[in-house]
Amino acid sequence: MEYTVRLLTLYRDLYYCAPDTENTEAGSAEDSALLNSDETLTIYRSGAGSKQFDAEKRLHLLDGKFCGYALQGQGKEMGGSGLCAVLPAGKYLFTQAVYADMDEMLTAAEQVWLESLWRDITPLNDMVYIRTVVEDNRKVFQVFRQVPGEIPAG
CB neighbourhood size of 145 (10 A) = 25
The whole-model pTM stands at: 0.86
Each of the 154 residues of the chain gets a pLDDT tens digit; together they read 789 999 999 999 999 998 765 554 444 545 556 788 899 999 999 999 877 778 899 999 999 999 999 987 655 555 554 558 999 999 999 999 999 999 999 999 999 999 999 999 999 999 999 999 998 999 999 999 999 998 877 6
Using only C-alpha atoms, the chain has a radius of gyration, in whole angstroms, of 16
Superfamily of 6-147 according to CATH: Regulatory factor, effector binding domain (3.20.80.10)
Distance separating alpha carbons of residues 110 and 82, to the nearest angstrom: 32
Domain definitions of the chain by residue range: 6-147
Instruction: Supply the pLDDT for residue 40.
Output: 96
